[in-house]
Structure 1
Amino acid sequence: SIRCCVTVVFAFRLSEYPVSGAKSNYVKGRQNLSVEPIRISLNMRVVVWDLDETLILFHSLLTSEFSKANPSCHAGEAFSLGQKWQDAILDLSDAKLFYAELEGICLSNISDIEPFDDGEELAEEDVQNNAPQELFRFPCKGVAQRIRKCCIRYLEGLETLSGDKREFDYWSSIYIDTDVAVGGWLSHARKLLRGVTEQADSDGGEQVHMVVVTLGELVPTLAKLLLFKLSEFFEPGSVYCAREVGKEQCFRKIRNIFPPSSAFAVVGDSPEEEAAARALSWPFLRIALGGGGGGSAGARPAPCDSTVSRGRRLTDVRPADVLALFGGPGRRPPGIRARDAAG
C-alpha cells in the first residue's frame, strides 16, 4: 500500500513556520495546521507532476519493467535496489512519520485533517518513543497531531530527521547506487525541477508553481520525497492523494485552487493521467521507461487532445520542454482554458 499520493497547490503552514525560509525559522511552541493559499499571481503556469516512474523509479525496479526497457540495467541489481528502497520507505514512514498508526487513513491532502486539529502538541513520550499507540481508523485529533508532526519533520529535512549519520549515509548510498544503475534518472529529476523554476523566473513570463500527484497514501509519499531528495521542491501541502477519487477529480481540485486565468500542464507516465489531462484540455508530456519513443529532447510535446503520446525518458526532457507545454511566456497553447470554461 505504499505506492504514493497526489499533490498540489496549497502550502502547508504552521503559525510560526512561514512558507518561505521555513526550515531555518521554526520556533517550537503551540501550533495549528493551517492551510492557506500560496501567494499566487493572477496568471500562473501550474505543472502537475506524477511521482512514481516519472520523477523517481521504484516499482519498475521491483517488477523488472525498467530493466526490460533498459537492458543495460541488470534485472537482479534493479530488483535488489528496489527492495532496499521499499525497506527504506517503510522504515522511515514507520519510525519517524507515524505510519504504523496512520496506515489506512487515506487523506487527499493535509487540509483534510485541519478541522480536527486544535493545536495541542503530541505528547512528548509519543514523539520520542515513535512506538505505535493504536491504529487509527478515522481522521481525528490524534491523526491531526501526528500529521502536523510529520509535516514539521518533513520540512526539517532528511538529515535532521534521521538523527543518525550512519543511517543517513546508508540512504544516500542507495540513492547514488540507483542513480548510477538507471543512467542518472534521479539526479536529472532534481536538475529538471530546479531548471524549470529558474528558467521560468528568468523568462519574464508568468509565475510557475509545481505540484505532485500520486496514488498512494500521504505519509509514504512524504517519505519518498525525502529519500529521493525531492522535498525541497514540494511543500507538504502541495502533495495530494488520488487513491480514492482518481486523477481527474484531483486535477479538478487543483484547478479550482488557482485563479481562472491560470494555465495547467501535466507530466506523467500513465494513461489515467493522460486521460485526466485530456478531459480538462491540459497539455500532457508522457514519460517512458525506455528511450526512442518520444523524439528528441528539443521536440515539443504533443497536446493532450492528440493521439496517445509515445513518451520519452525523463533524462531526455529539458526545462524548456516542460515550459513549452504552456506555449511560451505569457501565451496559452491551444487547448488550455480557464477553469470556468474547462467544465
Structure 2
Amino acid sequence: MDATLTKVFIWDMDETLILLKSLLNGTFAQSFNDLKDADKGVQIGRMWENHILNVCDECFFYEQIENNNTPFLDALKQYDDGRDLSDYEFDRDELCPPFDDLSLKKIAYRHRAIAHKYEEGLQNIFDKELLRVWDELYDMTDEYTDRWLSSARVLLEQCSSGKEVSTSSLGLASLDSADTKSEHVNILVTSGSLIPSLVKCLLFRLDNLITHGNVYSSWEVGKLQCFQWIKERFNNPNVQFCVIGDGWEEGEAAQAMQWPFVKIDLGPGSCHRFPGLSLRTLGCYLSVVYGSPSDETDEE
C-alpha cells in the first residue's frame, strides 16, 4: 500500500482567498471602525467586477454557456470527441438551447478551450496595457486590504509544500513529521458559477497554485456534494482534509464529513484572516481531528 500521507486543503474563494463582496458592500471597511475609506473599497470592487465580466465574456465564452453551469470543467468530458480545436469557429457553431447531446459536445469543446487558456495564463490573453492595469489594480487592492491577497497566496504556497518559513529561531514549521512522506493539494470549492470562478483565479493570481481541475462550483449541487466528490477522488485511508472558508454552508458540509473547518474572520484583530492565518494554525486543526504526527509515532 502507498504510505504517502495526502493533505487536502479545501478553500472557499470569496471573502476567503479573495475579497470582493465585502469591498462592494463596505463590510470590510466597517470592520476597521471607519479607519478604512469605504468609498475607495467600493470603487476597487467595481473595477474588479468589470475586469471579471469582460474576461468572462470576451475570452471564456460565458455569455454563450452561463445558463449551463457545471460543477467542474471535466463534467462534460464524455461528450468531447477530442477534435482538434485549432481552427474551430466557436462563433459559428450555433450553440443554443435545448442542450441536447450535440449542444453538450459544443460546450465540452469550450470547456477544453477554457482549460487551455487557464493553463496559458493571463499573459497570453492580455496585451501589455491590460497587464499593466491589472497589476496596478492588484497592488492597489493588496495595499487597501493590508496584504490580504498576497498573504493568502503565500499560505497557499506553503500548503502546497507543507513548509512554513518562520522568522523565529524555530526555522521551519511543518505540517508533517520529519519521516513522513507526504503530498499536499489545494482545492477550491466556491459557491459562484464555474467560469467566473476560474477567471477570478486568473485575475487574483491563484492559477499557478490551484489547477483548473481542482476548481469546483457548488452553485447547482451544494458544497456537501462537492466535498463528497472530493472524498471519492482521494479514496485512500492516508488522506486528511481541512476546509477553510467564511460561510455557514462549508462549515455545515465540513461537519457532515467530519473534517476540520477553519472559519475566516474579516476582523483586523483575528488570527483567522489574511495576514494572520498560518500553516501552523491549519496543522493544529488537522491534529484535533486526525491526531498529530507525534501521536502516530508513539502508537508505532
Calculate the TM-score normalised by the size of structure 2: 0.84
Which residue pairs with 1:324 in the alignment? 284
1:197 to 2:160 alignment: yes
Q: Is the 8 A contact 2:74 2:111 kept in 1?
A: no
Q: CA deviation at 1:123?
A: 6.5
Which residue pairs with 1:60 in the alignment? 22
Aligned-pair identity in percent equals 33
- In the aligned structure 2, how far is the partner of 1:51 from the partner of 1:41? 31
Deviation track 1:228-274 (CA, whole Å, cap 9, x = no partner) reads: 00000111110111111211111111111113311111000011111
Pairwise CA RMSD: 2.3
Q: Give the total of aligned pairs.
A: 273
Distance 1:161 1:133, change over 3 A: farther
Deviation track 1:36-71 (CA, whole Å, cap 9, x = no partner) reads: xxxx96531111000100000011111111111123
Give the alignment of 1:288-307 within 5 angstroms.
288-292=265-269, 294=270, 297=271
Distance 1:135 1:173, change over 3 A: farther
Q: CA deviation at 1:188?
A: 0.5
Q: Secondary structure at the match of 1:48?
A: strand
Which of the two has greater helix per residue?
2
Q: CA deviation at 1:172?
A: 1.3
Q: Is the 8 A contact 1:154 1:236 kept in 2?
A: yes
- In the aligned structure 2, how far is the partner of 1:45 from the partner of 1:193? 13
Q: CA deviation at 1:176?
A: 0.7
Q: Is the 8 A contact 1:100 1:135 kept in 2?
A: no
Distance 1:316 1:145, change over 3 A: same
Q: CA deviation at 1:126?
A: 3.2
1:111 to 2:39 alignment: no
Which residue pairs with 1:340 in the alignment? none
Decide which structure has the larger Cα Rg and report it: 2
* Stretches of structure 1 lacking an aligned partner (at least 5 in a row): 1-39, 298-311, 335-343
Opposite residue 131 of structure 2, the aligned amino acid is F
1:158 to 2:118 alignment: no
Calculate the TM-score normalised by the size of structure 1: 0.74
- In the aligned structure 1, how far is the partner of 2:96 from the partner of 2:60? 14
Which residue pairs with 1:10 in the alignment? none
Q: Is the 8 A contact 2:155 2:279 kept in 1?
A: yes
Deviation track 1:147-201 (CA, whole Å, cap 9, x = no partner) reads: 1011101000111121x10011111111111111111000111111112223349
* Stretches of structure 2 lacking an aligned partner (at least 5 in a row): 165-173, 293-300
Which residue pairs with 2:297 in the alignment? none
Opposite residue 73 of structure 2, the aligned amino acid is I
